[in-house]
Structures are given as structure tokens and as C-alpha cells.
Amino acid sequence: MALAREGDEVHVISYALPFRLELVDPRLTYHEVQVPRYPLFEYPPYSLALATQIVEVARHQQLDLIHVHYAVPNAVSAVLAREILEPQELKVVTTLHGTDITLVGNDPNYLETTRWGIDQSDAVTAVSKWLRHATLETLGVSNRIDVVPNFIVPERYERARGGPGARRWAKPGEKILVHISNYRPVKRVLDVVEIFERLRREMPARLLLVGDGPDRGKVERRCHDCDTCDQITFLGNLSMVEDVLSGADLFLLPSETESFGLAALEALSCEVPVIATDVGGLPEVVLSGENGYLLPVGDIDAMTEACLELLRDDDRRRRFGAAGRRWAVETFSEAEALAAYREVYRRVLDGE
């Protein structure tokens, strides 16, 4: 959307409309990938359908460059489309986000394909220094990898500050904790509930859980077993997370691994201190002792103590929140990321 606002013609190609994509700019167009289902195939061949759609859009819209997110299958499909389009020249830029390397790319069934897609790309970026290192170490790729972090649009979070935010779900006097994730086991949402249960023994509190996924059933059963259903609110998937984060007291992210930690950055943008684990790319987002705390994976005791320290000292918590907001705006702004991506685009289009 930012590229289109600045005058570029942008075509978004995906199997579904991204929920945050606003199609209000005439320079921004969405193309849905149609995956045919034939009895001949046990599994629909999405990667081939994607490659075909890239070819069609690139050919008819005269695209200069395709920027794909995730190495598998998107980078592989884009490289295939580039070969089909020859002699029309289409540059391929691939951005790595994490699971394409730490989960899918690390699987022996996909490792060689993942490595090939990355090495065949004209340029590669990763969302954190940690992810760049993990990619080089895990896959042994030879291609250069630039780091362009995830980013925020500061104005979105500024607008949310004027509303009721998280307080609309809480009773007067309750401290509000928030967690946002896809409820996969790696997110350790049960740790979030355990920390919350310990906190509510010390003070009135409410936990807001945003997102959905495979572990949600386990979390709901835990709430029933521990009789905390009245203090835990499940909000499901929301696109405007700032409307929940604004006004919250703390954000919990006890993940087993995070390639970046975008949810943590969004919390900091809303002046909410973050209690998270010292893993992956999180130390590049959360400055422990300044805008939150980073602690070992599974250390429920330490995380609970860190929460209590901030919840019992409103002045300190507010200082952490203000520092987090400054850090997020100064270091992870949309303008900074856009300039970095434009430099990558310029480099590959100029053949450097």
C-alpha cells in the first residue's frame, strides 16, 4: 500500500485476499490464484498454479520485479515463472520470515528446494539478523541476504490511543494482560495462562487472548479446569490489534522461538511493555530492562516476577511503555523499511 501511495504500480498475487490489504488505490490490484482440483492429483498443485498466475500477470502488466514472501513455495514458483517468461526479464526478490527456514526449510523433504529457491533469487532479505544467521547456518545458501526488519505504521497506533482500547473488556481496577498468536505449540500459550493464574492471586487482572489455532482447545480446557473463564477473554482473529493493545498494561510472548516478534513490536508501538523469551530475533525488538524483559523459555517463575515488578510500579511501567513507543517509531518505521526495500529493488533492476 505504501509503494502504491508513492506512485508505483503494485499487483498482489495470493490464494486469498490479505486481511489488512486495502484496495482503495487505483495503482494497487489483487489477483487471486485459482487452484484447479482434479481427481488425478491427490493434492492440489498450488505451486504450479502460482507460477502460472505470476507469468500471466507479469506478461500482461509488464512487471519489472516480483517480490515474494516465504521461500517455499513462493520463491520456487517465482523462479519458475521467471524461466517461463524469458526473454522478458523479471527480477525475483525473496523475503524470508521464519517458518520457511526454521520449520519447512529445515525439513529434509524440502531442504534442497528451499535452498535452490533462495539461491536462484536475484535478491534475498530476512526480517532479522538472527534469521539471516539461521538461514546461512541451516541451509548453507550462497546468496547475499540483506536484513530489512518488519515495521509499523506509527499513525495507526497513534489513532488507537484516543479510544477505549483494552479497557473496554476489563472491570475497574483490573490489570490487563494481552497475548497475540496463532496458538501453535511453539507459542506456548499455556505458559501465558499459567503466568496469568499466578498474577491474579496477587491482584485483580484480566487476560485478553487474540488469535486462533491448534492449541486453542487446550487453552480453553485449562481455563475451565482452573476456573479462570471469567477473567480470560478470547477475542479470536482481529485485524486491528491496536484496538486491543492500546490501554493494556503488559504483553506476554513466551514463545519457544520467534524469527522477529511482530506482535511484540505492535505492543511496544502502543506503549505496552513486553515480557518475552530471550530467543531468535526477539532481542532485536525488545530491549530487556528498557521496554520489557527477556527471560529463558519456560521460566514461568521469572516471567511472573517480571510482570509483578512492572504491575506494582505504575511509574516504571509507564516509563517502559514510553521507551518502547520511541524505540518502535524510531527504529521500525514504515519509511525506513520502504527505503530499504527500494534500495534492494534498485540494485537488482540495475543488475548490481
Q: What is the pLDDT of residues 184-207, one digit of tens each?
A: 999 999 999 999 999 999 999 999
What's phi and psi for 179, nearest 5 deg? -135, 135
pLDDT, mean of residues 44-61: 94
Given this model, what pLDDT does residue 181 score? 93
And the C-alpha cell for 18?
Answer: 490479505
Domain definitions of the chain by residue range: 2-150+334-349, 154-331
**35 has pLDDT over 70:** yes
Half-sphere exposure of 217 (CA within 13 A, CB side): 1
pLDDT at 287 (0 to 100): 97
Pick the CATH number of 2-150+334-349 from 1.10.1240.10, 3.60.20.10, 3.40.50.1000, 3.40.50.2000: 3.40.50.2000
* Residue 225 predicted with pLDDT over 90: no
State residue 98's pLDDT score.
Answer: 85
Do 2-150+334-349 and 154-331 share a fold? yes
pLDDT at 106: 64
Q: Taking residues 166-194, report their average pLDDT.
A: 94
Model-level pTM?
A: 0.92
Q: Which residue has the higher pLDDT, 106 or 51?
A: 51
Task: Indicate the range of 48-57, 218-227, 267-276 predicted with least confidence.
Answer: 218-227
Q: Which of 128-142, 217-231, 247-261 has the lowest mean pLDDT?
A: 217-231
Residue 38 has pLDDT above 60, yes or no: yes
Portion of the chain with pLDDT greater than 70, in percent: 98
- Mean pLDDT on 35-56: 88
Give 293-303 pLDDT, tens digit per residue: 999 999 999 99
pLDDT at 91: 97
Q: Is the dihedral of CA 329, 158, 182, 193 positive or negative?
A: positive
Residue 227: its pLDDT value, please?
73
Q: How much is the pLDDT for 345?
A: 97
Measured CA to CA, the distance from residue 16 to residue 212 in angstroms comes to 18
CB atoms within 10 A of CB 296: 11
Cis check: omega of the bond before 26, within 30 degrees of 0: no
User: Is the pLDDT assigned to residue 96 strictly greater than 90?
Assistant: yes
Inform me whether the pLDDT recorded for 228 exceeds 80.
no
pLDDT higher than 70, residue 277: yes
In tens, the pLDDT along 97-130 reads 987 776 665 677 888 889 999 999 999 999 999 9
Question: What mean pLDDT is predicted for residues 312-324?
Answer: 97
CATH topology of domain 154-331: Rossmann fold (3.40.50)
CB 334 within 8 A of CB 152: yes
Please list, residue by residue across 174-193, b when 16 or more beta carbons sit within 10 angstroms of its beta carbon and e when fewer do: bbbbbbbbebbebbbbbbbb
Tell me what pLDDT residue 132 has. Answer: 95
Q: Would you state the pLDDT for residue 104? A: 62
